Structure 1
Amino acid sequence: MTQAKSIYKQFYQKLILATSLFIIILSFIFYGYTKSTIYEELKESLLSDAELIFKISQNADANSKNFNIITHKGINVDMVTLKHFPEIPYTTFKINDDHFMQILYPFNKDKKQYIKIVKNINSSIQMLTKIFNNILLISFGGLIMVVLYAFTVSKTLLRPIIQITKNLSNMDENYLTQINKKNLPIEFHPLANSINSLTTRIETNIKFKKELFIGVAHELKTPLAVMKLKNEVTLMKDREPQKYKDTLKLTIEQINDMNKMISSILDIGRAEGAQFEKPEEIDLVQYMQRKTNDYRMLSAKKKIVLTFFSNVNHHKVNIQATLLNQIIQNFVQNAIKFTPDDKAIAIRLEKTKKTTTITITDDGSGIDESIDLFAPFKRMGEESGAGLGLFLAKNAADALGAEVSLKNREDGKTGCVATLILNNKTSQKKD
């Protein structure tokens, strides 16, 4: 089993390692540059001395016996005869504890005579040693500061994560709070926004689920109480056969209403199961055309004209078709239910670069926008129904990562517009 790693430990270790390597490399580069600079100055000094000596001795009868010029202390000048001039005119060497640099400068090429200057460079070596020691001392102090800096920065960068983690660990279904972005760095705002959005959705879902359970109990208890009371009253004394028939008819009607309620509840269960359905590729335009043709059978009973428009001919998407069908079917059936006879319903699909919007516009009487119709058991008008259709559509939309809304028309006509907005994902193909 792999042992869990601490992000705090990993971060400060990598920061210390990277910064330490940087300081060490920079120190060696600085020392190497300083050393090469000092050696170059020594070489230029020896070359300058050799050129000066050459000019002074050029008109004199100089030879190896009488050539004993000494410019100043620490520099010895002599003339030597060599069979072969060395490829490297500059050399450094050490005698006991003394360090020297030597230059061979041509004096008389025909006689193969060369000016040899040897300079004591102990002071330069001592300077380099001091510089090296100072660099080591500074690097050691820098490493200590890097360690302290790494711990401080690690804690500073992890503080927002710890804050978010603490808030999340304290949350449960009874205590959901929004993450305060005021004290968070701006880089963590998208994460906080996502968590707050998810928290809001969870809170809404829990609220709706509680309302659903309470509503189910109420909606099922009421018809049971009506049937029980009606049957008890009927059985209190002997009655005409018609009275018994009326009681049985009422019981059957109540049972039918309860069956509708149970079917809606089962649809919610199927919708939650459909969230795990594997997405499939469909042509959304052709899919909506087929659905429109199917719904025309329902709209024809009320002589409602059902039309479909699209701004593209083809639009292939990967989507969970069962969830999509639950949304579209609920919107269209509601539009047909609340649209008077001989009116019209328009279904539109509009694709843009980022989104695909499907709208169902009816000629009904409109809605009360102050009521959250996507909550369970919220009904429009006096039409029969369990009041769970839009709740089911909202859950399906959330599972698809889509948005749904229901608003009154704004074109001066009565009726409402049901809207589904799908995000165009990278998995969608070009039209």
Structure 2
Amino acid sequence: MGSIDAQIALLAVAALFFLFGTGVWIGLSMIGVSVAVMWIFAPAKPAGDAMATTIFSDTSSWTLTALPLFIWMGEVLFRTAISEDMFRGLAPWMRRLPGRLVHTNIIGCSIFAAVSGSSAATCATIGKMTVPELKRRGYPDEIAIGSLSGAGTLGLLIPPSLIMIVYGVQADVSVAKLFAAGVIPGVLLAGLMMAYVAGWAMLNPSKVPPPDAPLSLAQKLHESRTLIPVVLLILLVLGSIYAGIATATESAAFGVVGSFAIAGWQRRLDWRTFWDSVMGATRLTAMILLILAGASYLKLAMGFTGLPRHLAESIAAMNLSPAALIVVLAILYIILGCFLDGISMVVLTIAIVLPMVEQAGIDKLWFGIFITIVVEMAQITPPVGFNLFVLQGMTGKSIFWIGRVSLPFFIAMNICVVLLYQFPALVHFLPDLMVSAAR
């Protein structure tokens, strides 16, 4: 790769990030830069024909059809009373835990994550009930909002996950296995977050309001009956995948039907709910697919420059250990997370980093969980963090204030990555169990 070619390739990357900064749609930015690169580096290859062929081949995946269905399911549930039902069902069981009702943020997000797939949807759905309720009961804003910001990211890790679907298609990894691999790390991360809340409560007992009046076991069970619909939906969506009854796409279709059943049961299903959910899902799906289309064309264009190959060779020449490579990639993704959304980060970088990861002997399934967690970190990293935007709109607080109170949960995600690296069986246990059961 000549010095002139290298300079042009780096100029193209700089132009790409300049367009991101000016607010041009990410997908259109990538397509525009790709067309310019193709004209310079491959003038004999018609840019339009290459774009059409590449985008069609990269996006015509059956697995990707699960994406709009899971998004639609989350949109329908967002318009139901599911957050109120979950708070009412969980609150009686939190009385004895240090931190009490703050844990409803984390457990509520964990449960909703299992039927959503979106971090922003999880944060918004749970927050619209818990934030005003915790404030009314006297819980400090920093722990109420910080815990919701951190726990909202579980929507990406606990399956079904939109990021896992995108990564699975890009990296040619089974989405069903990725879903299975995310369960134990998701529970682990939720546990780390709950441990922090408990520690904070024990260090600041004066800031925790007194508990509600005690309830008998029968009363607690009666209050928890509101959790039954969402638990049944989780069993329908994830159980059908893990039992081998349905593919990820088919389970997503089951989830849409189940979400409409919940909306109907709650008497929230009307023409307005249906239309708003369809339009919300259509807008988000179109945005994601435009990003995927732009990234697939950018991958082709950058291949002609030779930049990805030379970057991979340069990093390989450093002879980094797998652990050092993971640290370098984590730092890279955290920096990118300050400027890009999670899906853009994955599709923009996967063609470059995956060869390095495979060369270092790192399993692609494990790396999928790793990249999901570091994308979670990006969701609470100012100035571009989707969860921060959601909470800013909900609370009126500054993005940087929300980022500061989210810091302990950001640290919990880093601890989770370290534990998963030291104990990779936490990722592989359920996928291996699925394979064994299928034999």
Greater Rg by CA: 1
Relative contact order (alpha carbons < 8 A, sep ≥ 6): 1 or 2 greater?
2
TM-score, normalised with respect to structure 1: 0.21
TM-score, normalised with respect to structure 2: 0.20
Q: Counting strand residues as a fraction of each chain, which structure ranks higher?
A: 1
Q: Counting helix residues as a fraction of each chain, which structure ranks higher?
A: 2
